[in-house]
Amino acid sequence: MEDGIISKFVLDQLSVWPLAAANFRALKNVEVRNLEVNGLDVKLQHNPGRIKSSAAKVDTASLKARKCFLCADNRPSEQMKLKFEGRKDRKYDVLINPYPIFPEHLVIARDEHVPQSIWNRMVDMTDLARHYPSFTIFYNGPKCGASAPDHFHFQACPRGLMPLENDIDKNLDLVDGQSVPAGSPLEDLTSVQDASLYHYDKFTKGVFVLKARTSKSMAKLFYRLLDCLPQREDETEPMFNLLTWYKVSPSKKVSGISHGRFGEYRAVLLARDKHRSHHYFDEGPDHLTMSPGCADMGGLFIVPNADDYAKLDARLLKEMLAEVSVNADTERDIIWKLTRTQPEVQVGIMSGDEIEFEIISDGAGKQKVSYENGKISYNGTLYDELVFDAQTMSSMFAEPTFILYGVTIGVGFHWERKQVQKFAGSLKFIVDNGKVTAVNVIGVEDYLLSVISSEMKASASLEFLKAHAVISRSWLLSQIEARKSAAKEVKSSVKEDYTENGVHHYVRWYDREDHTLFDVCADDHCQRYQGLTLAIGENVRKAVDQTWGKVLMYDGKLCDARFSKSCGGMMEHFSSCWSDEDFPYLAAVPDTASENAAAVPDLTKEENAEKWIMGEIPEASESFCNTSDEKILSQVLNDYDLETKDFFRWQISYTRKGISDIIKERSGQDIGLFESMTVISRGPSGRITELLIKGSKSSMQIGKELVIRKFLSTSHLKSSAFVFKVTKSETSPEEDIITLYGAGWGHGVGLCQIGAAVMSEKGYDYSQILAHYYPGSRLVNKDRNE
């Protein structure tokens, strides 16, 4: 309670500083008039003394040219100061404003010349409010009325002088706990611990109200709000004005219980779109010298010009206010971001006879569960299932809540090893196949943040990452739906496996098997997931945030949004690779801008496929995925330095003996010496879907594309879109060279990653990229009825 000190300080200061004293005296005689603006009774103050401040140039060059009037060295010798200690050694000088708009008008400036920015300083603001409870502390963002955006400062004025503050204060008094009475302009949005956030539906767009019992939860909720405001790329924080005060009530009833002396932090944030309205720049009769800051946005409009004061009416004020505030669409977006939700996904992380873990917040350190007689043993008790709950339905991204020890990563790779991993969300232990399995129950968006960070390079461009976020989300939600509906699809199948006329027919396809006890696993089998162990790239965060809840749908169903590295210039059909069905949105479309598309011939015909693969059709080179741009390729290829860059067109050579051995090893069938290959059928991308291989001992007719790729390479052939040529050896037929010329990398169905990265680089946005690779699909957000 330091209020008395301020009054004395002001008197002392004015007694030695004639300029300030004259301005404070003049303030007593300024004209004031009332107007009603969108339901709030506001005040106009005709204050000629403020012309300098309202017309101040705050661009970087002008700021550089002038001496900073808040730096101690440049202040007038008469100016006195009080000290205020902020948190973490941040020190402030409390000064009076020599050009006042309030009878006690303070500037609280950092003792260092550091830029105006609210990051980390909200706690100083609430501390100030509590220290001076008869004052309202306010903050103008660097582009929202701060006349010294280069030198950090708050301002303060006596409580109750701003109409908006008064109306909000009155309405907050009527809130019981968090619940708002009927007819209140406050709309309950969200809360964090003891802090609540409301939208104020009066006066102007983008008004948000906060209340909290502790400064810590106030800061938490305030920064969450800030995260939901639009921010321009080149700015350091969103545009806003902020008023904060500390309300002490002699007593208050909350949910029927009376409290004695009840203190509460309160704040109102006004989200802004512009510093000044067009009226400021208008040189005609519409001109207004007004640069709205906290006072104006608080309903006390400061008008330095007599002409302006005379002509201002409610219509003009509303117009100016609407222009400098965020618009209705932006307000709707902010509210949606604050209130949006995410469905839960269950991710199987690890299994073992025992599992070591740690719940970060409980302080118990490392603990252990183990498998015992079909149950989970924990602290001497047996459980069927054990859950450590955390809040997972956050509207923002969650923080780590638990740790798992000894998680195996890189299963089956040379770099396989154990790792300590951190996770957000809840931890659940279940029994699975004679072992304990740790399952992470987490919000879908939090999950995506992690998998996209593991699977994509942090350097990938934003629109490319956004397209991927939508694909991953669509896939994930279809996994969750599939498990809920328990409608088991056949996930892989042998279609033909018989011998007829000496030819072994072998046609099969592989697809992922679903899990039964959780939705997805953490390995490459589903999507590689390591919780919050890896740093989350800024672009990944943006990509998930900006596509939150959006999925691809066709005909009311989630799309099976497949993707591969490179289509080779043309997209393939689903049935060429998996079960005998096709989807309209997985169409055979050339991977090129539509104006080049018409020239691609029918690649299921052998002569066309050959010309296409051998580069005799010039249009092929126009394909999006035909690139050797290192910057783009390194975004898509995780082990860029290790991998070959030939994927759009590639070739590989074997000796006749060599390819015979590979076929024998990979298929298990000895065909003798390889003689020839005949294409039975190709898909629309030129990928072979059925191939007859003749050998000296036997023959085989194989499909679909993955079987062909598997049998003709020691690892996997890049794709099944190929033609081949034989070069005779002079020594022996065994030494003849068989060369395969191929196109593309992977199955080629759906999105072509390299093509998509090129599209993003060329300026296409993610919705255009998705529309290109999944024609006819719709980008849907069920939550928002979009």
Which residues bind to Zn ion, rule: CB under 5 A?
68, 70-71, 113, 151, 521, 525-526, 567, 591, 625, 752, 755
Taking the C-alpha atoms of residue 133 and residue 43, their distance in angstroms, rounded to an integer, is 23
Locate 63 and state its tokens.
């700021």
The minimum distance between CB 521 and Zn ion, in angstroms, equals 3
Tell me how crowded residue 228 is: count the other CB atoms within 10 A of its CB.
24
Nearest distance in Å: CB 95, Zn ion? 12
Q: How far is the CB of 482 from Zn ion (least distance, A)?
A: 12
Q: How far is the CB of 643 from Zn ion (least distance, A)?
A: 17
Q: Which is nearer to Zn ion, 625 or 749 (CB)?
A: 625
* Residue with smaller CB distance to Zn ion, 8 or 64: 64
Q: How far apart are CA 602 and CA 686, in angstroms?
A: 9
Nearest distance, CB of residue 669 and Zn ion, angstroms: 30
> Do residues 221 and 195 lie in contact, with contact meaning Cβ atoms separated by under 8 Å?
yes
φ/ψ of residue 774, rounded to 5:
-125, 70
Count of residues in the chain? 786
**At closest approach, how far in Å is the CB of 684 from Zn ion?**
13
Judged by CB, which is closer to Zn ion: 172, or 625?
625
* Structure tokens that stand for 114 in this block: 């550091």
Q: Minimum distance from CB of 762 to Zn ion (Å)?
A: 13
In the numeric block, which tokens belong to residue 533?
């162990």
Where does residue 208 rank: exposed (0-12), middle (13-18), buried (19+ CB within 10 A)? buried
CB-wise, 190 or 719, nearer to Zn ion?
719
Q: How many angstroms separate the CA atoms of 218 and 211, rounded?
A: 7
Distance of closest approach, residue 568 Cβ to Zn ion, in angstroms = 6
Q: How far is the CB of 346 from Zn ion (least distance, A)?
A: 12
Residues 6+ apart with CB under 8 A from 184: 171, 174, 175
Q: How far is the CB of 470 from Zn ion (least distance, A)?
A: 18
Q: Give the C-alpha distances (Å, rounded to integers) separating 523 from 213, 400, 764.
A: 44, 20, 32
Report in angstroms how near the CB of residue 572 gets to Zn ion at its nearest. Answer: 10
Q: Name the DSSP class of 423.
A: E
Contacts of the segment 86-90: beta carbons below 8 A, 24+ positions apart? 86/121, 86/123, 86/124, 86/127, 87/123, 87/124, 87/127, 88/120, 90/121, 90/124
Q: Which is nearer to Zn ion, 517 or 534 (CB)?
A: 517
H or E stretch at 53: helix 51-54
Q: In what side-by-side order are the strands of the sheet with 426-432?
A: 385-388, 426-432, 435-443, 344-352, 520-521
Distance CA 316, CA 304 (A): 16
Q: Calculate the dihedral angle through the C-alpha atoms of 296, 300, 302, 308, rounding to the nearest 10 degrees.
A: 100
- Name the DSSP letter for residue 661: H
**Cβ-based nearer residue to Zn ion, 113 or 508:** 113
Tell me whether the omega of the peptide bond preceding residue 704 falls within 30 degrees of 0, making it cis. yes
To Zn ion, the closest distance from the beta carbon of 740 in angstroms equals 20
Compute the least distance from the CB of residue 23 to Zn ion, in Å. Answer: 21
Shortest Cβ 411–Zn ion spacing (Å):
11
Q: Considering the complex, state which of residue 68 and residue 737 has its C-beta at the smaller distance from Zn ion.
A: 68
Can you point out the beta strands (E) in 170-256?
Answer: 186-192, 195-200, 207-212, 240-254
Report helix, strand or coil for 17: coil
The string of DSSP codes covering 645-659 is: S--SEEEEEEEHHHH
CB contact at 8 A, 465 and 456:
yes
Kindly provide the residue ranges of all beta strands, DSSP E only, lying in 596-755, ordered along the sequence. Answer: 649-655, 674-682, 688-695, 699-703, 722-727, 737-743, 751-752
Please report how close the Cβ of residue 644 comes to Zn ion at its closest, in angstroms. Answer: 16
C-beta closer to Zn ion: residue 54 or 623: 623
Q: What own/partner pairs with CB < 8 Å and gap ≥ 24 does 578-581 have?
A: 578/509, 578/510, 578/511, 578/704, 579/490, 579/493, 579/509, 579/511, 580/495
Using CA atoms, how far residue 271 sits from 207, 243, 276, 316, in Å, is 6, 12, 14, 20
Q: How far is the CB of 70 from Zn ion (least distance, A)?
A: 5
The minimum distance between CB 744 and Zn ion, in angstroms, equals 7
Question: Helix 462-485 and helix 766-773: axis angle, to 10°?
Answer: 60
Neighbours of 83 (CB within 10 A): 9
Specify whether the CB–CB gap between 519 and 480 falls below 8 A.
Answer: yes
Is residue 40 classed as helix, strand or coil in its secondary structure?
Answer: strand
Shortest Cβ 112–Zn ion spacing (Å)? 8
Q: Where are the alpha helices (DSSP H) in 229-364?
A: 278-281, 294-297, 306-311, 314-324, 328-339
Token couple for 327: 């618009």
Of 368, 265, 350, the closest CA to residue 530 belongs to: 350
